[in-house]
Amino acid sequence: MQLTYTNTAEYSQIIDDLRKSFTNNLTKSLSYRKRQLRQLYKLLEENEDEICDALYKDLRRPKTETMIGEISWCKKESLDAIENLDGWSKPEYVKVGIAHALNGCHIRREPAGTVLIIGAWNYPVLLLLAPFIGAISAGCTVILKPSEVPDNTSATLTKLISKYLDQNAYRVVNGGSEETMELLQFRFDHIFYTGSGRVGKIIMTEAAKHLTPVTLELGGKSPAIIAKDADIPIVARRLIWGKTFNCGQTCVAPDYIICERSVQEALIKEFPRVIKEFLGENPQKSKDYSRIINQKQFDRLNNMLKKTSGKIIYGGITDRDELYISPTIVSDVTEDDELMQHEIFGPIFPIMVVNDLEEALEFVRSRDIPLAIYPFSRSDKTIQHVLDNTRSGATVINDCLMQASVMTLPFGGQGHSGMGSYRGKRSYDVFTHERSVMNTPYFFEKFIGFRYPPYTQRNDKI
């Protein structure tokens, strides 16, 4: 399906229309929001195959991975929002001292306004719809800007969103980086961006011109720290799954392994066995293994492989015509290796050897704060030590990726891996303004008259 870019000359009208709908309270009632959330659920339920087919065309991704990694999570999130919206939106009466006991002090939860959500290409459904669910729940009017890279999926979503959801409140705008820059010249009440840190800085700079708050869901190099006592066969299965799911094009994929030499030796014996078990002798023939999204990304990964000074101990097979890169294990990479300079975002797994756990933690601390850290050990003490001596958006002990499946855990980074978090109720909170309300009835006048001038010493005791 062809993705058509929205004419940039229409932006102003689209945004005006959405602002009017917001000002006219179209999206404010809870019944309206729930109706739209039900429509979103229906969109996913009724068009599962079409969405999975689009992702197959874009990434050759197996249906199971699209169901696990995108559609089921979005469905669960919409149901959760429908079920809990009444509770989330209730006014919250706050504790006050005796002096304000009769002021009815409370927090009124209000939609942020007209907001912009910019999605990334690697999970184009989840990364657009999960924040969208938060914005609908909060009562915002929304512009969605899907990534232009997975054109089949973005075209499919554009068609379906305009069919299922109210166009007076929610509009999809398509375009590449130049068009997104034009869009960013308009004022929004919140911008929610998922993608690279490089573009995250551009988004934040443009948002600052209007003092627009931002949520930035970025990437980075998430290490798997393997202690000497780890269960190597289990580590190998869990890490290869995490690295090959969506062909490694996952923001929370384990990026590299850091461990002692004896652990590296054990892992490089185990990894080939696990890759063969999961994807067969030739993963290129496996129906369960995705492709790289496009030639630009393929070339980037291929160049990394050409430049590495590590040892390719398994894989390293590439086919540009098919955008295929086999699961590849590279041992003995050093700190200055090409594979250690940028987020890999592909099925290449470097292993860096250190002398001990302390050296591993020191290395991780010396880098930007990662989106995730994956420590593997049988010892609670070791795990606690890793938690106490590192920082990261999330930590999954003895596993990877699965933090994203728990919507009550905040999903987000820190520092270069992002700003703010979302999922479940937190997505609602992102797009909600907490408005303080306090009521001072006229009859209070006789109790509060002492605060007015002319002041006497009695005023000091207020």
Stretch that binds ligand NAD, among 5-13, 211-219, 275-283, 325-333 (CB under 6 A): 211-219
Told to check if 2 binds ligand NAD by CB under 6 A, we report no
Can you say how many angstroms the Cα of residue 30 is from the centroid of all Cα atoms in its chain?
A: 26
Q: Active-site residue 217, yes or no?
A: yes
Closer Cβ to ligand NAD, 51 or 251, answer by number: 251
Sole window of 3-11, 59-67, 140-148, 379-387 interacting with ligand NAD (rule: CB under 6 A): 140-148
Segment near ligand NAD (CB under 6 A); pick from 34-42, 55-63, 76-84, 176-184: 176-184
3-class secondary structure, 392: coil
Instruction: Tell which one of 65, 148, 151, 255 touches ligand NAD (CB under 6 A).
Output: 148
Q: Does 196 bind ligand NAD (CB under 6 A)?
A: yes
List the one residue from 58, 77, 80, 343 that touches ligand NAD (CB under 6 A): 343
| Packed helices 30-46 and 151-164: angle between N→C axes, nearest 10 degrees | 130
What is the DSSP code (8-state) at residue 26?
T
Q: Which is nearer to ligand NAD, 111 or 418 (CB)?
A: 418
Catalytic residue among 77, 148, 206, 217: 217
Stated length of the chain: 462
Question: According to CB under 6 A, which one of 31, 177, 366, 456 is a site residue for ligand NAD?
Answer: 177
One residue of 12, 25, 83, 176 binding ligand NAD per CB under 6 A: 176
Number of residues this chain uses to bind ligand NAD (CB under 6 A): 27
Which CB, 309 or 341, lies closer to ligand NAD? 341
Question: Can 259 be counted among the known catalytic residues?
Answer: no
Report the DSSP beta bridge partners of residue 394.
372
Nearer to ligand NAD, 194 or 395 (CB): 194
Beta bridge partners, 351, equal 257
Question: Is 160 near ligand NAD (CB under 6 A)?
Answer: no
- H/E element holding 177? helix 177-183
Cα pseudo-dihedral 264, 270, 271, 277, rounded to 10: -170
- 8 is a site residue for ligand NAD (CB under 6 A): no
Which of 139, 195, 254, 375 lies at the binding interface for ligand NAD (CB under 6 A)?
195
Mark 49-78 with x for binding to ligand NAD (rule: CB under 6 A) and - for no binding: ------------------------------
Which range binds ligand NAD by CB under 6 A, 68-76, 174-182, 272-280, 317-325? 174-182
Whole-angstrom distance, CA of residue 308 vs CA of residue 294:
22
With a CB cutoff of 8 Å and minimum separation 6, the contacts of 132 are 40, 117, 142, 144, 170
Q: Does 204 bind ligand NAD (CB under 6 A)?
A: no
Closer residue to ligand NAD (CB): 128 or 361: 128
Pull the structure tokens for residue 429.
Answer: 């909170």
Tell me the three state secondary structure of residue 287: coil
Decide: helix, strand or coil at residue 193: strand
Q: Least CB distance from residue 442 to ligand NAD, whole Å?
A: 51
With 0-12 CB in 10 A as exposed, 13-18 as middle and 19+ as buried, what is 95?
Answer: exposed
Outline where 389-456 has alpha helix (H): 425-430, 445-448
CA distance 394 to 373: 7
Interface with ligand NAD includes 219 (CB under 6 A)?
Answer: yes
Q: Which residue sits closest to ligand NAD, CB atoms considered?
A: 219
Q: Indicate which residue of 52, 74, 140, 251 is catalytic.
A: 251
Among 71, 74, 207, 251, binds ligand NAD (CB under 6 A): 251
From candidates 147, 156, 212, 326, binder to ligand NAD by CB under 6 A: 147
Q: Is 180 in the site for ligand NAD (CB under 6 A)?
A: yes
Q: How far apart are CA 411 and CA 416, in angstroms?
A: 14
Helices 72-89 + 126-138 axis angle, to 10:
20
The one among 47, 122, 153, 328 contacting ligand NAD by CB under 6 A: 122
- Name the burial class of residue 228, with classes exposed (0-12), middle (13-18) and buried (19+) by CB atoms within 10 angstroms of its CB: middle
Contacts of 267 (CB under 8 A, 6+ apart): 226, 232, 235, 236, 257, 259, 351
Q: Which stretch binds ligand NAD (CB under 6 A): 36-44, 188-196, 326-334, 352-360?
A: 188-196
3-state secondary structure of 170: strand
Contact criterion met (CB below 8 Å) for 157 and 4: no
Question: Residue 157, interface with ligand NAD (CB under 6 A)?
Answer: no
Q: Residue 315 and residue 313: Cα distance in Å, rounded?
A: 7
Residues lying near ligand NAD in the complex (CB under 6 A): 118-122, 127, 145, 147-148, 176-177, 180-181, 194-196, 199, 202, 217-219, 251, 343, 345, 371, 413, 418
- Residues identified as active-site: 217, 251
